[in-house]
Amino acid sequence: MTSKPIFIQHANQLITVSGGTERPLTKEKMNTLQIIEDGSIWLEDGLVKAVDETKELNRQFASRMNEAIILDAKGKIVLPGLIDPHTHIVYAGSRENEFNMRLNGATYMEIMNNGGGIHATTTKTRAASHNELLEESKKRLNSFLKHGVTTIEAKSGYGLDWETEKKQLEVAKQLNEEHVIDVVRTFMGAHAVPANYKENPDEFVRIVIDEMLPEVAKYNLAEFNDVFCERGVFTPEQSRRILEAGKNYGLIPKIHADEIEPYEGAELAAEVGAISADHLLRVSDQGIKKMADKGVIGVLLPGTAFFLMADSARGRKMIDEGVPVALSTDCNPGSSPTTSLPFIMNLACMKMGMTPAEAIVACTINAAHAINRGKEIGSLEVGKKADVVMMDVPNYMQLQYHYGMNHTDTVIKNGKIVIEGGQLCHIN
């Protein structure tokens, strides 16, 4: 069934974020938004067919206006559907008890090393059925959609045994098929050393490499391979082995790097040719340089720093040094239980010195590149997917100025209206 074309007209600002399809935007290009005043866009067959000033498209499509759904964006802004390139949405349970412990002085790593943290969620996720995980995750996807997010990445990593890692990836696959949000999969078997391998972590690394990675590849369960490279979790040497092994199966490396302590994770990302290094709260100057040289995208997660009450990553410095920066919620039950990517943009401005323009680039075209989708999504250019969001603010700076609020008014995914007046519509 083909749906009607959609014509959005009279946007106060239509922000195309164009110019970054080939490679992510860096330095001053991150701060130079392409904006059409009184802008309009024609969407058809799930794709962007034309973008221009309203008077121009009114003329161009005059004879076809009666076939289209016409949306008036007067007083609002229109931008590409937001993209979250780093989430852990397929999990069971929640960890507000640990939040309370942290408010009373316990640290994230202490809780994890005492069997809580990732281990607590692993226990719950192992016990949950495929369908329970599917239903819980769908709720989170609906919440993402209400915040203007149209594509996400989702990691496994709450199984730490093959059966559960596989279950998580299969749930993510089904979410991609059944939910309007596109879900891109990452295998993260090396998210923590399971309790029964505490005395012999290298044996667990061997299992990830020799037993899990071949299965991921055989059943085409993921595109990316991620590892938590952190003191007390996986060493840079173990991380390197896991990421190199994944490459042999065509899995693109990603890495949780330098989150709690400087640990040369960013350097490793550059050396193994990772598509992104994520977190980077404690990245070294040398690591920043190496990432800039190799074009490794820095996926920054200021919500995680906020929720762990830690200092944020040096986003300003990374952009100034030429690292292509993207932003993400890190949505997970321990260090960042939010689906509000707009709030993450607010934090990027307030805690990392990024500008409102840079925050938009970081959640659209640069985020698309962080999941290898720069050619299909992330900007409103002819031929790209018709993933569009309308925010109820008169200019893009107000997205950050009216912070902590959800301004999402309308979301169009694959050329279909899925959020109207801030509410879900026409979705299963």
Interface residues with ligand NIG (CB under 6 A) are 88, 117-118, 121, 228, 256, 259, 304, 330, 332-335
Residue 296: which residues within 8 A CB-CB, separation 6 or more? 266, 269, 270, 274, 275, 276, 277, 290, 323
Distance, in Å, from the CA atom of 275 to the CA atom of 255, rounded to the nearest integer, reads 9
Q: Which is nearer to Fe ion, 77 or 296 (CB)?
A: 296
Q: Which is nearer to Fe ion, 86 or 146 (CB)?
A: 86
What is the closest distance, in whole angstroms, from the C-beta atom of residue 228 to ligand NIG in the complex? 5
Residue 280: which residues within 8 A CB-CB, separation 6 or more? 257, 258, 259, 265, 266, 287, 298, 300, 313, 314, 318
Among Fe ion, ligand NIG, none, the one that 16 touches (CB under a kind-dependent 5 to 8 A) is none
Q: Which is nearer to Fe ion, 44 or 330 (CB)?
A: 330
Among ligand NIG, Fe ion, none, the one that 138 touches (CB under a kind-dependent 5 to 8 A) is none
User: How far out from the chain centre does Cα 2 lie?
Assistant: 29
Q: Which is nearer to ligand NIG, 243 or 380 (CB)?
A: 243
What is the closest distance, in whole angstroms, from the C-beta atom of residue 197 to Fe ion in the complex? 21
Distance, in Å, from the CA atom of 112 to the CA atom of 121, rounded to the nearest integer, reads 10
Among Fe ion, ligand NIG, none, the one that 335 touches (CB under a kind-dependent 5 to 8 A) is ligand NIG
What is the closest distance, in whole angstroms, from the C-beta atom of residue 98 to ligand NIG in the complex? 8
Q: Which is nearer to ligand NIG, 21 or 335 (CB)?
A: 335
What is the closest distance, in whole angstroms, from the C-beta atom of residue 278 to Fe ion in the complex? 6
Among ligand NIG, Fe ion, none, the one that 373 touches (CB under a kind-dependent 5 to 8 A) is none
The closest of 368, 284, 372, 370 to 80, measured between CA atoms, is 368
Q: Which is nearer to ligand NIG, 190 or 363 (CB)?
A: 190
Position closest to ligand NIG via CB: 334
Residue 223, phi then psi, degrees to nearest 5? -105, -25
Q: Using an 8 Å Cβ cutoff, are 7 and 71 in contact?
A: yes
Among Fe ion, ligand NIG, none, the one that 153 touches (CB under a kind-dependent 5 to 8 A) is none
Q: Using an 8 Å Cβ cutoff, are 354 and 361 in contact?
A: no
Q: Which is nearer to ligand NIG, 254 or 385 (CB)?
A: 254
Residues in the chain: 428
The closest of 32, 21, 89 to 369, measured between CA atoms, is 21
Q: Using an 8 Å Cβ cutoff, are 77 and 36 in contact?
A: no
What is the closest distance, in whole angstroms, from the C-beta atom of residue 87 to ligand NIG in the complex? 9
Q: Using an 8 Å Cβ cutoff, are 158 and 166 in contact?
A: no
Residue 196: which residues within 8 A CB-CB, separation 6 or more? none
| Site map 290..329 versus Fe ion, x via CB under 5 A | ----------------------------------------
Q: What are the tokens at 99?
A: 């939040």
Residues that bind Fe ion in the complex, under the rule CB under 5 A: 330
